Amino acid sequence: MKQTPKIIAASAILGCTLIAGAFLNPSADGAGTAQPGTTDDPVVTKSYVDQQIQQALGGGTTQPGNPGTTTEDEIKVVTLKPGKILIADAGAEFIVRSGKAIIYTQDSNGVADLTDGKDLLNGQAAPLNHLLSFPRDGRGIKVKDGVTSNLIVMVRGGYTIQ
């Protein structure tokens, strides 16, 4: 019979501890967290998130009304006619897919053939299916003299057709 008061006291202490814990623990109710849709926790659309990611990655935009020119990072397939020159912006990359192309530069430096690991100089053939890197503006490729067929070129980066 002497154990009954001890059990009642232990039960009372345990009950008080549980009640006090519920009141003193704000995360139990979700208190202290921002409400969805407020400035602390805004609700945004997927298109907004995608747009912010593209801006953070430096994705370009098309410049309408400027034919023969692009500044996008995506790969474009370009058809180059004989007599025209495909001029790369600094950092652009070309892959000649079909046709007979030669390197065009106005100075003594060339274009990096990343596939073979060598420098291609003005007038040298641009090999098919090789990744060509253009480190500076004003360099490009053109259809080899005497050839009447077009070039098909995959382009990443900015370019101009002259």
**Structure tokens given for 153:** 């070129």
Task: Transcribe 73-127 into DSSP letters.
Answer: SSEEEEEE-TT-EEEEPTTEEEEEEES-EEEE-SSS--EEETTTTEEEPTT-EE-
Cβ partners under 8 Å of residue 86, min gap 6: 78, 80, 94, 140, 141, 142, 151, 153, 155, 159, 160, 161
Cβ partners under 8 Å of residue 38, min gap 6: none
Share of the chain above pLDDT 90, in %: 34
- Rounded distance, CA 149 to CA 109, Å? 27
Q: Provide φ and ψ at 51, rounded to 5°.
A: -65, -45
pLDDT classification of 120: cutoffs 50, 70, 90: very high
- Rounded distance, CA 79 to CA 151, Å? 6
Q: What is the pLDDT of residues 38-81, one digit of tens each?
A: 777 777 777 778 787 877 776 544 433 445 554 457 888 999 99
- Rounded distance, CA 84 to CA 50, Å? 37
Output the average pLDDT for the chain. Answer: 80
pLDDT classification of 29: cutoffs 50, 70, 90: low
pLDDT classification of 8: cutoffs 50, 70, 90: confident
What pLDDT was estimated at residue 65?
A: 40
When mean pLDDT is compared over 8-12, 15-19, 83-87, the highest value belongs to 83-87
Query: What's the gap between Cα 29 and its chain centre?
Result: 41
Report the predicted TM-score, pTM, of the whole model to 2 decimal places.
0.55
Cβ partners under 8 Å of residue 98, min gap 6: 128, 151, 152
Checking if the pLDDT of 123 tops 80, the result is yes
Contact 159, 95 (CB under 8 A): no
What pLDDT was estimated at residue 66?
A: 43
Checking if the pLDDT of 25 tops 70, the result is no
Read off the pLDDT of each residue in 24-41 and give the average, rounded to a whole number. 64
